[in-house]
Amino acid sequence: MNFDYAFAWSIIPDLLRGLVVTIQVVVLGFLLAVLVGLILAITQGSKFVAVRRLTKAYLSFFRNTPLMVQLYVLFFAFPLAGITLPAISTGVIGLGLYYGTYIADAFRGAIDGIPAGQWDAAKALDFDTSTTWQRIVLPQTIKPMLPILGNYLIGMFKETPLLAVITIPELFQAAKQVAGMTYRYNEPYTLMALMFLAISIPTSLLFKYLERRSHV
């Protein structure tokens, strides 16, 4: 159970390479999730029944199946249909599609919270749909969503060990490889936990700061 500080120091470069991959996949996946969530929030309120039903089916599928299964399908089943994606792209898409279903609810709640009078005022001013969303709706939805988005971003970092199943060399996979080659487990997994904390805590503080700024 001894902790070898010299050994721990020597494996930091290997873990940092995994950390860079983790940050890359999570940030891109988060941006995709926000975009998907916004689209789903809008289509949930569509006047077309078929669009609402397709949205409901999408939400039901992604919320009721594990993320790991979705990653397996994207990475191992899709090539059987002739669709092959690089591992990192698969991870980004998998995280984005999965978390987008939950961010959609946050968007929908924020959109529903906008007073009806503001929609009526936009119509009275002859704003088109694009202008209404860009200048009135979206600026007001972002503020209440900041703490929710921060929680989901941190949650995505916690989910990244699942990406090891599709061979993405993220932080957990890097720690696992070091442990497998050296038969030392305390150092790589302890450093991995510290690195996750080094990401999660500043991320949480950043979103709290942005939330406070939005109320100024």
Query: CB count, 10 Å around CB of 146?
Result: 19
Cβ atoms of 95 and 32 within 8 Å: the answer is yes
Query: CB count, 10 Å around CB of 164?
Result: 20
Provide the pLDDT for residue 1: 57
Provide the pLDDT for residue 126: 77
Per residue in 137-175, pLDDT tens? Answer: 887 888 788 888 989 999 999 888 889 888 888 899 899
What is the maximum alpha-carbon separation in the chain?
A: 72
Provide the pLDDT for residue 134: 78
Q: Is the pTM of this model over 0.75?
A: yes
Element (H, E) at 104: helix 87-112
Positive/negative CA dihedral, 26, 99, 114, 125: positive
Burial 187-198 (b: 16+ CB within 10 A, else e): bbeebbeebbee
Q: Does domain 19-214 have CATH number 1.10.3720.10?
A: yes
Provide the pLDDT for residue 215: 63
Residues in CB range of 79: below 8 A, 6 or more apart = none
Cα–Cα dist 132/127, whole Å: 6
* Low-confidence spans in the chain with pLDDT less than 70: 1, 214-216
Per residue in 54-74, pLDDT tens? Answer: 999 999 999 999 999 999 999
Cα–Cα dist 85/63, whole Å: 23
Provide the pLDDT for residue 164: 86
Q: Which amino acid is at 10?
A: S
